[in-house]
Structure 1
Amino acid sequence: MPVKPIPDGYSTVTPTITVHEAAKAIEFYKKAFDAQEIFRFPSPDGKTIMHAEIKIGNSIIMLNDEFPQMNCRSPQSIGGTGSSIFLYVNDADATFNKAVSAGAKPLVPLMNAFWGDRFGSIQDPFGHVWSIATHKKDMTSEEIKTAQEAFKNTCQ
């Protein structure tokens, strides 16, 4: 049987994040986002995680501990992150509040965003930023543009 170029259960794009203390991060993601641990491979010395996979909803996220000698560093080591993970869920309020209760820091308070989502963002204890949203309203590009203009006018 031929091997599938994209394995079952994976998407074309699969986020991979580096964290300081990957084992603790996995436990946080279980508490905050009901993540399921798929597996983990420890380093040869057993002190760190070389590769692990979790599943949140229908999406797999790969993660690993830092390996500075391979230029693999966490947001905590580099002083921030240049990316974020956008997480669509059934109840943004419940997920946001659960993440904050588990130790996340609120960055953008929950709001009814002009593009039709209930939206907010948090920073997890490991430095990664997560945008949490529930889609509430289907909108055309023109409707979003009009709503954005109205939103900008309220900010001035």
Structure 2
Amino acid sequence: MTSEPRLSPRLIVPDPDRASAFYQAALGAEQVFSAPRGDDGRPSVIGLRAGGASFRVSPAVPSWGWRSPDDLGGPAVLLEIEVDDPDAAGERMVAHGAEVVVPIEDRPYGKRSGRVRDPFGHLWIITGEPR
């Protein structure tokens, strides 16, 4: 049996429930599943879908090598999301606790983009068509 590979990034965060709520409010993501809660009361994984993209959030578990950006001193990956209205998406993220790192504006390479850091330390490039 052959199938196309699917990549589902898993973001390591201190609090998966809070992260899921943020991504739902800020990106319009839909929570599609949540694993049973462990002894610490946190789910081991929450699955989310935003448009055609799927991603997951899991708690930091240093003994497994799962470390959040705060544990690492910054993120190891940039997440890029392409949307119809980058300004509105950036404003929603900031309204829910993200901070602007690079303002969203028209870029010389033909895109309108900028960068925000979400409340969990992950960096997002928000991009779309120029104005």
Quick check: TM above 0.5?
yes
Secondary structure in structure 2 of the residue aligned to 1:86? strand
Structure 1: tracts of 5 or more residues without a match: 138-156
Residues 16 and 45, structure 2, Cα contact 8 Å, conserved in 1: no
Task: Report the counterpart of residue 131 of structure 1 in structure 2.
Answer: 125
Number of aligned residues: 131
Root-mean-square deviation (Å):
1.8
User: Percent identical across equivalent pairs?
Assistant: 27
Q: Quick check: which one's helix share is greater? A: 1
Task: Compare 117-126 and 48-57 and name the one that shifted more.
Answer: 48-57
Report the structure number with the largest CA radius of gyration.
1
In the TM superposition, 1:87-102 aligns within 5 A as 87-102=81-96
SS in 2 for 1:82: coil
Query: TM-score, normalising length from structure 2?
Result: 0.92
**Offset of residue 43 of structure 1:** 3.6
The answer as to 2:18 corresponding to 1:5 is no
Give the letter for the 1:70 counterpart: W
Could you list the structure 1 runs, at least 4 aligned residues long, displaced by more than 6 angstroms after superposition.
none
Q: TM-score, normalised by structure 1?
A: 0.78
Higher relative contact order (CA 8 A, sep 6+): 2
- Cα distance in structure 2, aligned partners of 1:58 and 1:49: 24
What amino acid does structure 2 have at the position aligned with 1:112?
Answer: D
Q: What is the match of residue 19 of structure 2?
A: 25
Q: Residue 42 of structure 1: SS of its match in structure 2?
A: coil
1:128 corresponds to which letter in structure 2?
A: H
Give the match's secondary structure for 2:109.
Answer: coil
Task: Work out which of the residue numbers 62, 72, 77 in structure 2 matches 1:78.
Answer: 72
Give CA deviations for 1:21-45 in whole Å, capped at 9, x if unaligned.
Answer: 0110000111110110001113432
Q: Which residues of structure 2 form unaligned runs of 5+?
A: none
